[in-house]
A and B are shown apart, each in its own frame.
Chain A
Amino acid sequence: MSETAIRPKLVGPTPLERVRRAAPLLLAPVMALAGLAAIGDPSVWLTLTVAGLAMGLMIFIMASGLTVVFGLMDVINFGHGAFVSVGAFVGFTVLAWLAGWTQSPAVILNLAAVFLAILASMAITGALGLAFERVIVKPVYGHHLKQILVTMGGLIVAQQLIHVVWGPDAIHVARPQSLQGSFIFGEAAIEKYRVFAVGIGLVLFLAMRHVLRATRLGLLVRAGVENGEMVEALGYRIRRLFLLVFMAGSALAGLGGVMWGLYQETITAHMGSEIMVLVFVVVIIGGLGSIEGCFIGALLVGLLANYMAFLAPKIALVSTIALMVGVLMWRPQGLYPVVKAK
Chain B
Amino acid sequence: MADMLLRLAGVHTHIGPYHILQDVTLDVPRGGVAVLLGRNGAGKSTTLRTIMGLWRASAGEILFDGKAIHSLATPEIARSGIAYVPENMGVFSDLTVAENMRLAAVDGPFDARRLAWIKELFPPIATFWDKTAGTLSGGQKQMLSVARAIIEPRRLILIDEPSKGLAPAIIASMTSALRELKETDTTILLVEQNFAMASALGDTVSVMDDGRIVHAGDMRALAADAGLQEQLMGLSLEEHQ
Contact = CB atoms under 8 A, between A and B. Distances in A.
Majority-rule SS of A interface residues: loop
B44 interface: no
Of the listed residues A5, A9, A12, the one surrounded by the most CB atoms of chain B closer than 10 A to its CB is A5
B95 A223 contact: yes
B122 interface: yes
Interface stretch (A54-62, A226-234, A253-261): A226-234
A236 B128 contact: no
Interface in B114-142: 121-124, 127-128, 131, 134-137, 139-140
A232 B75 contact: yes
A6 B143 CA distance: 10
Given A2-B173, A227-B92, A342-B88, A236 B135 contact: no
Of the listed residues B121, B124, B148, the one surrounded by the most CB atoms of chain A closer than 10 A to its CB is B124
A171 B172 CA distance: 72
Interface in A1-41: 1-2, 4-6, 8-13
Contact of A2 (B99, B121, B172): B172
Interface string A319-342: 000000000000000000001011
Interface in A102-159: none
A216 interface: yes
Contact of B124 (A8, A231, A238, A342): A8
B95 A1 contact: no
B49 to A, nearest CB: 9
Interface in A71-116: none
Contacts of A9: 137
A3 to B, nearest CB: 9
Contacts of B86: 229-230, 233
A4 B73 CA distance: 42
Contacts of A186: none
B133 to A, nearest CB: 10
B170 A232 contact: no
Interface residues of B, number: 42
A339 B103 contact: no
Contacts of B122: 1, 6
Given A230-B90, A341-B88, A1 B99 contact: no
Contact of B54 (A11, A13, A233): A233
B92 A232 contact: no
Nearest to A228: B74
Interface residues of A, number: 31
Nearest to B124: A8
B106 A234 contact: yes
B94 A233 contact: no
B69 to A, nearest CB: 13
A230 B141 CA distance: 14
Of the listed residues A2, A227, A238, A339, the one surrounded by the most CB atoms of chain B closer than 10 A to its CB is A227
Interface string B144-185: 000010000000000000000000011011101100000000
A1 B121 contact: yes
Given A1-B122, A6-B123, A341-B90, A12 B135 contact: yes
B92 A226 contact: yes
Contacts of A12: 131, 135
Of the listed residues A2, A230, A231, the one surrounded by the most CB atoms of chain B closer than 10 A to its CB is A230
Contacts of A342: 88
A256 to B, nearest CB: 26
A5 B99 CA distance: 25
Contacts of B124: 6, 8
Nearest to B87: A342
Contacts of A184: none
Contacts of B84: 233
A234 B104 contact: yes
A176 to B, nearest CB: 41
A235 B172 contact: no
Nearest to B158: A233
Contacts of B36: none
Given A6-B124, A12-B135, A216 B92 contact: no
A220 interface: yes
Nearest to B80: A235
22 contacts: A2-B172, A2-B176, A5-B172, A6-B143, A6-B170, A6-B173, A11-B137, A11-B140, A219-B102, A222-B94, A222-B95, A223-B94, A226-B94, A230-B92, A231-B103, A232-B73, A232-B74, A234-B148, A235-B79, A236-B103, A236-B106, A339-B93
Given A2-B172, A11-B137, A223-B92, 20 more contacts: A1-B121, A1-B123, A2-B176, A5-B173, A6-B123, A6-B124, A8-B128, A10-B128, A216-B102, A222-B94, A227-B92, A229-B90, A232-B54, A232-B74, A233-B52, A234-B148, A235-B78, A237-B73, A339-B134, A341-B90
Interface of A: 1-2, 4-6, 8-13, 216, 219-220, 222-223, 226-227, 229-238, 339, 341-342
10 pairs of A and B residues whose beta carbons are closest in the complex: A230-B90, A1-B173, A235-B78, A8-B127, A5-B169, A5-B173, A232-B74, A223-B92, A8-B124, A233-B84
